[in-house]
Amino acid sequence: MSTLAIDKAGPSRKVKYGSMSRDRTWALRWSYFFLVLFAIFFLTPPVYMLITSLKSSAEISAATNPWWVFHPTLSNYVELLSSNQFLRFFWNSSIISIIVVIVTMMISIPAAFALARMKFWGSATLATGVFLTYLIPDSLLFIPLFKVLGGVQELTGITLLNRWYVLVFIYPTLTVPFCTWIMIGYFASIPKELDEAALIDGASWLQTLTRIFIPVALPGLIAATIFAFTVSWAQFLYPLVFTTSVDQLVLPVGITTTLIKGDVFNWGQIMTGALLGAAPPLVIYAFLMDYYIAGLTAGATKG
């Protein structure tokens, strides 16, 4: 009797109605778990920096709880922001980064347009070549670059070494290949018909670039700009090698060379300087993020 009843009850396996939403719930739980893990992992150093920057040297050297500020003070900030030296580093970094971004864009955009759109003999090989130059590490390049610039200085008599503006010539070797490469990708994603339409409408190549490609690829351009700015802002090895006088230093090198005196680490000011140095890229990201994400190309063609 009982077996018969079970047979009539249908499949013994419990049917999981709504298993889709259950899967989703679990997927979300795992996502949150890992996201929180990563957030903790990546945010701990800046938070630690912030805590340390608010402490006096005495409190830092005292063996109190490193994760808590007992006597918060802004003295580190006041000291740094009123120091001409630090402001000089800041100024050097800013002017170099801005010039590098402009130079990079002036080179990368036309280069990417030519490589992406004007099909000429060897354009594909050239595009790959541009990317390959990016793969050469700067730690390998700085010695030959030093020799080259030293040679130029000897030949022309123009002082290049130990001047902040030498970095304006050197940084593009890092930024131009990568920016060109991502711009090629963005330009290539613009439908071919768009430049053909412009061509028929009477636009020259330059007009097609400035009036169609640049506005349409603006998100890509901004991504490249952010990249170029971040690279030149955070660059450490080249300025360390090419500039030595205190008034020619940029922020990352300046902080480490002037705030570490022998084996004395002025931790409070180092942390403060690093935090202040991280602020400009952060602000730029915050303002341009919307553009960065926005898909301006939507609606160009079907869909």
Interface ranges with other proteins (CB under 8 A)? 191, 193-194, 196-204, 207, 211-212, 215-216, 218, 296-302
Query: Judged by CB, which is closer to other proteins: 80, or 183?
Result: 183
Distance of closest approach, residue 120 Cβ to other proteins, in angstroms: 14
Query: Judged by CB, which is closer to other proteins: 75, or 297?
Result: 297
Query: Judged by CB, which is closer to other proteins: 216, or 276?
Result: 216
Q: Compute CA distances 165 → 39, 96, 99, 125, 137, whole Å.
A: 38, 7, 9, 32, 22
Beta-strand relationship, 260-261 and 264-265: antiparallel
Distance of closest approach, residue 119 Cβ to other proteins, in angstroms: 12
Query: Judged by CB, which is closer to other proteins: 81, or 296?
Result: 296
Give the contacts of 276 (CB within 8 A, at least 6 positions apart).
77, 80, 81, 90
The answer to whether the CB of 151 falls within 8 A of the CB of 201 is no
- Show the tokens assigned to 266: 């002025």
Query: Judged by CB, which is closer to other proteins: 99, or 300?
Result: 300
- The runs of H, that is alpha helices, within 72-171 are 75-81, 84-117, 123-135, 138-156, 166-170
Query: Judged by CB, which is closer to other proteins: 194, or 240?
Result: 194
Distance of closest approach, residue 33 Cβ to other proteins, in angstroms: 37
Distance of closest approach, residue 196 Cβ to other proteins, in angstroms: 5
Q: What are phi and psi of 239, to 5 degrees?
A: -65, -30
The answer to whether the CB of 182 falls within 8 A of the CB of 223 is yes
Give the residue from 199, 254, 286 showing the smallest Cα distance to 85: 254
For the chain, how many residues are written?
303
Distance of closest approach, residue 135 Cβ to other proteins, in angstroms: 33
Distance of closest approach, residue 266 Cβ to other proteins, in angstroms: 50
Query: Judged by CB, which is closer to other proteins: 123, or 207?
Result: 207
Rounded CA separation 13/6 (Å): 12
The answer to whether the CB of 228 falls within 8 A of the CB of 179 is yes
Distance of closest approach, residue 218 Cβ to other proteins, in angstroms: 8
Query: Judged by CB, which is closer to other proteins: 113, or 164?
Result: 113
If 0-12 CB within 10 Å is exposed, 13-18 middle and 19+ buried, where does residue 183 land? Answer: buried
